[in-house]
A = this chain, B = another copy of it.
C-alpha cells in the first residue's frame, strides 16, 4: 500500500536501455526482480535519476505498465511537469497502467509560501482528488524551499497528499519539526521517505523518517539500515552504513552519479547495459579504477556479494 503509513525503502529505479538507446524490456523485468530481491517495499519510476525527461510519453507509460505487471510492490510514478494538462494526462495513464500513486515536485518558478500552497491545490484539481501523491521536496534541484508550515498547509488542504519525499539538504531539522507536529496532534499522519542517495540515512531514520526513497546500487543496505535504526540497533546500523559510505559518496556525485550507478547495477546483473541517453556523463578509465577500488574495499568489509 502507498498511503500515509508507508514505510521501508522505495527504490528510485533507473531506466534500462540497450546499447543503442532503446528501452531494454528484458532488463526492466530483471531490474524489478533485483530490487524486489533486495527487500524494496516499493518502486519509484520516472524520477530524475530515472532519466524521465529523456523518455517519450508513450515510452514512459510502457515502462510503468511493464513494471506494474511484473511486481506486486506498489509503484509510484514521478509526474512532475511544467503544465497541469500533461501532468494530469501522465497521472491518469500511470494509474491506468497499474501505479499506486504519484510524486510531484514544484515548478522552479514558485517562490512565496502562498504560491507553493496554491500550486499543490491546482495539482489536485488537475489530477483529481483520488490519486495518492507524495510532495517531492528537493530544493537543490528545484530551487523551491518548503518550510514545515507550508508542508502542513499542503497536507491539511489536500487529503490525497500522503507522503513527504524528503530531500532538502540539510533537512534533518525539517524531519524533526514535522514529526513533532504529528506527534503533538498538530498534523495528521503522513509518511516521510528520505532521499539524498542515502547519504544521511541513519540520521534521517533517527529523526523520524519512515524509510528511504532514493536510488542506490545496493538497496539492501538502505533496507537494513532503516530496520536496524528502527529496532534501536544504532551501532549495527552505523557499522553497515559506514562500510558503504566511501562508495556511496562516489555514486552520489552530481553529474556522473547515474553513470556510476548503472555501471554497478550492470555488474550486479540487474541490467544488461549501462547505456544512458544523452545528455549524459561517461565514466573515464580513471573513474572505473576508483569505483572498482571502492567496491573492493566495501566487499571486503561487508562480505556482500556483488
Binding site for B on A (CB under 8 A): 51, 53-59, 81-86, 89, 107, 111-115, 119, 122, 125-126, 143-145, 147, 149-150, 169-170, 172-173, 176, 199-200, 203, 206-207, 234, 238, 241-242, 245-246, 249-250, 253-257, 277-279, 284, 286-287, 290, 293, 297
A-B contact pairs, 24 of them (CB 8 A): A54-B82, A54-B84, A55-B86, A56-B85, A84-B277, A107-B279, A111-B143, A112-B150, A113-B114, A114-B147, A122-B278, A122-B279, A169-B253, A169-B254, A169-B255, A170-B254, A170-B256, A199-B249, A206-B290, A207-B286, A238-B293, A242-B242, A245-B245, A249-B249
Chain B residues whose C-beta falls within 8 Å of the C-beta of A113 in the assembled complex: 112-114, 147
Copy number in the complex reads 4
Q: Smallest distance from the beta carbon of A158 to chain B beta carbons, Å?
A: 16
Once the chains bind, are A170 and B112 in contact (CB under 8 Å)? no
Q: Are A278 and B176 in contact (CB under 8 A)?
A: no
Asked if A255 contacts B170 (CB within 8 A), the reply is yes
Question: Which residue of B53, B81, B85 contacts A277 across the interface (Cβ within 8 Å)?
Answer: B85
With both beta carbons as reference points, the residue of chain B lying nearest to A203 in the complex is identified as B290
User: Residue on B with the closest CB to A51?
Assistant: B83
Closest chain B CB from A59 CB (angstroms) = 7
Contact partners of A85 in chain B: CB under 8 A? 54-56, 59, 277
Are A246's CB and B255's CB within 8 A?
A: no
Q: B residues within 8 A CB of A286?
A: 172-173, 176, 207
* A206: chain B residues within 8 A (beta carbon): 290
Please give the distance in Å from A125's CB to the nearest CB on chain B.
8
Task: Find the residue from A53, A284, A297 having the highest chain B CB count within 10 A.
Answer: A53
Q: How far is the CA of A254 from the CA of B254 in the complex (A)?
A: 15
Q: Which residues of B contact A150 (CB under 8 A)?
A: 112
Contact B287–A111 (Cβ < 8 Å): no
- How far does the alpha carbon of A266 sit from the alpha carbon of B257 in the complex, in Å? 35
Contacts of A254 in B (CB 8 A): 169-170
Question: In the complex, what residues of B have CB within 8 A of residue A125's CB?
Answer: 278
Can you add 17 more A-B contacts, CB < 8 Å, to A113-B114, A170-B257? A54-B84, A56-B89, A84-B277, A112-B147, A113-B113, A122-B278, A126-B278, A170-B255, A176-B284, A176-B286, A199-B249, A206-B290, A234-B293, A242-B245, A242-B246, A245-B246, A245-B249
Q: Distance in Å from the Cβ of A221 to the closest Cβ of chain B?
A: 14
**Smallest CB gap from A255: residue in B:** B170
Give the nearest-CB partner of A116 in chain B.
B112
Q: When chains A and B are docked, how far (Å) is the Cα of A169 from the Cα of B147?
A: 26
